[in-house]
């Protein structure tokens, strides 16, 4: 595996950057496809798309800096996002803050905005994790399973954790598309994606932020489901 896709003199294109760009592009496409049916007009997406991308990247970087302070003895290194160091939970936090502000300013449903933009989470698992795989990072524990991978410079072979998360992302994406087509209440799509993704992250990584999202998502979905059932006509 090689993190560099193309290198011509000083011009370098890395797999991680290409995968990040593809994830953003497809997330935007999905937002425009589903936004109007979820209650977010196309013209509102036109206003939101660029700020959303910027804030999500900033949040991802801030999240990484806060969780890895020892790596930033020189504060200028915080700006070097070209060297990697992004967290999905930081991106989610930054994006939700922007969506809340947007919902207040534009008189839109916050949860409908969250539903419309949540595609970035499973798409990130699919594309960005492939970039991590090509970088030889975020691998799992040593294993003797037949599909184990030996990463350059790493004692192994190892669980290809990145591939596991790519498969998880595809599964979540397929389920999310079904939920989007029959959404019963605003926020159902967002929290379904969060719950399913968090279950996978806890199982694979054991992350505390994923546990917080899982608990919050289960509470939200169970509460809303109860209200929907209460309003449903009795046979």
Would you give the DSSP letter of residue 76? G
Decide if 193 contacts 118 (C-beta within 8 A). yes
CA–CA distance, 43 with 119 (Å, rounded to integer): 19
**Cα angle 24, 26, 32; round to 5:** 105
CA–CA distance, 30 with 180 (Å, rounded to integer): 11
Supply the pTM of this predicted model: 0.88
pLDDT of residue 107 exceeding 90 = yes
pLDDT of residue 235 exceeding 60 = no
3-state DSSP call for residue 210? helix
Average pLDDT over residues 66-78: 79
Residues 187-200 have pLDDT tens digits of 999 999 999 999 98
Would you give the DSSP letter of residue 77? G
Average pLDDT over residues 122-151: 91
Please tell me the predicted confidence (pLDDT) of residue 230. 63
Residues 18-61 have pLDDT tens digits of 998 999 999 999 999 999 999 999 999 999 999 999 999 999 88
- Percentage with pLDDT > 70 across the chain: 95
Q: Supply the range of the domain harboring residue 47.
A: 4-231
Total domains, the chain: 1
């Amino acid at each position: 595996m090689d993190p560099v896709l193309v290198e011509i003199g000083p011009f370098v294109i890395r797999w991680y950057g290409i995968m990040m760009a593809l994830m953003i592009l497809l997330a935007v496409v999905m937002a425009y496809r589903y936004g109007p049916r979820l209650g977010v007009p196309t013209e509102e997406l036109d206003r939101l798309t660029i700020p959303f991308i910027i804030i999500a990247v900033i949040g991802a970087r801030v999240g990484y800096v806060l969780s890895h302070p020892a790596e930033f003895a020189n504060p200028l290194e915080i700006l070097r996002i070209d060297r990697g160091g992004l967290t999905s939970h930081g991106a989610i936090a930054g994006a939700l803050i922007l969506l809340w502000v947007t919902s207040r300013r534009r008189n839109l449903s916050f949860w409908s905005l969250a539903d419309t933009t949540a595609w970035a989470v499973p798409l990130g698992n699919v594309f960005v994790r492939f970039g991590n795989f090509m970088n030889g990072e975020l691998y799992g524990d040593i294993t003797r399973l037949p599909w184990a991978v030996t990463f350059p410079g790493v004692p192994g072979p190892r669980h290809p954790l990145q591939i596991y998360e790519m498969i998880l992302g595809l599964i979540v994406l397929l389920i999310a598309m079904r939920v989007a087509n029959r959404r019963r209440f605003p926020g159902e799509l967002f929290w379904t994606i969060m719950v399913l993704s968090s279950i996978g992250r806890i199982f694979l990584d054991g992350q505390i932020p994923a546990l917080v999202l899982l608990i919050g998502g289960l509470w939200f979905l169970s509460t809303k489901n109860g209200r929907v059932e209460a309003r449903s006509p009795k046979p």
